[in-house]
């Protein structure tokens, strides 16, 4: 009897390790291709500023593609969240190439978007294809989706610990067993090392100086963390607002990114700079050493919300990094804390507030900036999480836990603005 049980456990272990290897390798390879391609189209755009005038055409191409061939995957990340909570059918594999090329078109012609959403969707779509191959039942399929999200996130940012935790936390730790936790970490590292095999370099960020431990420091950390949470709320609300406005005013979906592209191109022309389009990584890096203009984070929120609301493709996370880092950098002009520390705190805290994932964001901060910054990062992520409202960037995400109960009590007191 013990021998049969051992064989069964060994068979299951071999099965899931094999699944992790396959998902990690294919998702990591897809992310590597995406990162190289993204760098290429970004260079083309930066060397040819006139290309912004083709953004409406690129938007129309994306709109037509999703309208006629991609209706089943147009929800993007929200589809993954919905399938996890209420499994219906396997994510179509076409989600991966459609979001890949949609994002590359967005960045080539000058939309303001990120890359996390693309990697997560590719990872989720690739992972779900193994559901049939390995005869995964409905209950275990949730684990498959966790693995896809984990692999996509870990590979695109080079943060395997945060990637594994993000996949678990964004799904609200709902009905997740220890097997899923172990496998999420395993697939995250496999995907991460797969990208490393392709010699892909991730952006380096550093916080060279920390603040001294004192009540004064704690006071300022709390104040700026609340501001980071409010910025996260503004970002989420902005994206949803523009999406709602476009859907109500333009009935034919392919025309939405076309019209949106026209407005973005004109806006870039009139403000005379391209620093608010694309990923905005140079601005993020500079924010750690040079104070930003007070309006930089607001314009990034506007450009990104408008881009994604119009129907262009890409993620929200790198723009959230931009918003947080530049806001923190700006606050260094009036807050007596090191500029790099403020930028780093904002970098992950705004992300935490917009995705309701304070644990993953804290770990991500320590992976990127070092363990020594952990206490500051952790406080910022937690406070931003609680002060960012109940609406995040993912419509289909269900907010649970302490934050859910807090906002339910506040809503009963008629605080509708939350």
pLDDT given at position 218: 97
Shared domain for 161 and 239, answered yes or no, is no
How far lies 387's CA from each of 31, 324, 326, in Å? 33, 14, 19
How far lies 321's CA from each of 89, 92, 126, 275, 403, in Å? 33, 30, 26, 14, 22
pLDDT in tens, 343-369: 999 999 999 999 999 999 999 999 999
The CATH number assigned to the domain holding 9 equals 1.10.3080.10
Residue 214 and residue 281 in contact, taking contact as beta carbons nearer than 8 Å: no
In a domain, 202, yes or no: no
Q: Which tokens go with 313?
A: 């493709």
pLDDT given at position 397: 76
Residue 129 and residue 328 in contact, taking contact as beta carbons nearer than 8 Å: no
Shared domain for 354 and 381, answered yes or no, is yes
Shared domain for 367 and 280, answered yes or no, is yes
In a domain, 417, yes or no: no
Number of domains in the chain: 2
pLDDT-derived band of residue 124, with 50, 70 and 90 as boundaries? very high
In a domain, 244, yes or no: yes
Percent of the chain scoring above 70 in pLDDT:
93
pLDDT in tens, 77-106: 999 999 988 888 999 999 999 999 999 999
pLDDT in tens, 214-247: 999 999 999 999 999 999 999 999 999 999 999 9
Select from 197, 228, 255 the last residue of a domain.
Answer: 197
Residue 182 and residue 145 in contact, taking contact as beta carbons nearer than 8 Å: no
SS3 content of the chain, % helix, strand, coil (to 5): 75, 0, 25
Shared domain for 224 and 103, answered yes or no, is no
pLDDT-derived band of residue 395, with 50, 70 and 90 as boundaries? confident
Taking 90 as the threshold, does the pLDDT of residue 407 lie above it? no
Shared domain for 144 and 178, answered yes or no, is yes
Shared domain for 152 and 182, answered yes or no, is yes
Give which of 241, 320, 319 is closest to 275, Cα–Cα.
319
Shared domain for 147 and 258, answered yes or no, is no
Q: What is the DSSP string of 98-141?
A: HHHHHHHHHHHHT----SHHHHHHHHHHHHHTHHHHTT--HHHH
In angstroms, the CA 276 to CA 362 distance is: 26
What are the start-end ranges of the H helices in 312-357? Answer: 317-331, 339-355
Radius of gyration of the chain (CA): 21
Q: Which tokens go with 31?
A: 């992310």
Q: Which tokens go with 42?
A: 């970004």
Domain limits for position 100: 2-197
Taking 60 as the threshold, does the pLDDT of residue 200 lie above it? yes
* The pTM of the whole model exceeds 0.85: yes
Q: Which has more pLDDT, 2 or 24? A: 24
In a domain, 203, yes or no: no
């Amino acid at each position: 009897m013990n021998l049969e049980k051992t064989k069964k456990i060994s068979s299951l272990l071999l099965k899931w390790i094999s699944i992790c290897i396959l998902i990690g390798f294919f998702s990591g390879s897809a992310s590597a291709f995406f990162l190289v391609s993204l760098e290429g189209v970004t260079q083309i755009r930066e060397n040819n500023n006139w290309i912004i005038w083709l953004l409406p055409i690129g938007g129309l191409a994306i709109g037509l593609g999703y309208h006629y061939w991609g209706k089943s995957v147009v929800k993007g990340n929200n589809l993954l969240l919905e399938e996890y909570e209420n499994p219906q059918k396997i994510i179509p594999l076409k989600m991966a190439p459609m979001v890949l090329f949609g994002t590359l078109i967005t960045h080539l012609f000058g939309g303001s978007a990120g890359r996390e959403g693309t990697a997560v969707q590719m990872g989720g779509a690739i992972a779900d294809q193994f559901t049939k191959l390995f005869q995964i039942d409905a209950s275990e399929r949730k684990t498959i989706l966790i693995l896809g999200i984990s692999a996509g996130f870990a590979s695109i940012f080079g943060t395997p610990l945060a990637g594994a935790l993000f996949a678990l936390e964004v799904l609200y730790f709902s009905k997740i067993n220890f097997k899923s936790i172990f496998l999420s970490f395993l697939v995250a590292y496999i995907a991460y090392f797969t990208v490393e095999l392709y010699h892909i370099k991730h952006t380096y960020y550093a916080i060279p100086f920390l603040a001294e431990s004192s009540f004064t420091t704690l006071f300022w950390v709390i104040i700026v963390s609340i501001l980071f949470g409010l910025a996260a709320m503004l970002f989420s609300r902005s994206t949803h607002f523009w999406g709602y406005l476009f859907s109500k005013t333009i009935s034919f979906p392919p025309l939405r990114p076309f019209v949106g592209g026209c407005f973005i191109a004109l806006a870039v022309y009139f403000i005379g700079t391209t620093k608010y389009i694309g990923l905005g990584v140079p601005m993020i890096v500079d924010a750690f050493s040079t104070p930003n203009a007070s309006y930089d984070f607001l314009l990034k929120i506007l450009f990104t919300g408008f881009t994604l609301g119009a129907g262009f493709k890409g993620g929200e996370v790198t723009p959230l990094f931009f918003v947080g880092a530049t806001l923190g950098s700006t606050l260094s002009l009036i807050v007596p804390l090191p500029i790099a520390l403020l930028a780093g705190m904002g970098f992950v805290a705004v992300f935490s507030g917009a995705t309701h994932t304070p644990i993953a964001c804290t770990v991500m901060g320590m992976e990127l900036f070092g363990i020594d910054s952990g206490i500051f990062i952790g406080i910022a992520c937690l406070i931003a999480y609680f002060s960012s409202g109940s609406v995040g960037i993912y419509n289909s995400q269900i907010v649970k836990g302490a934050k859910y109960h807090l906002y339910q009590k506040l809503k009963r007191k008629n605080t509708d603005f939350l």
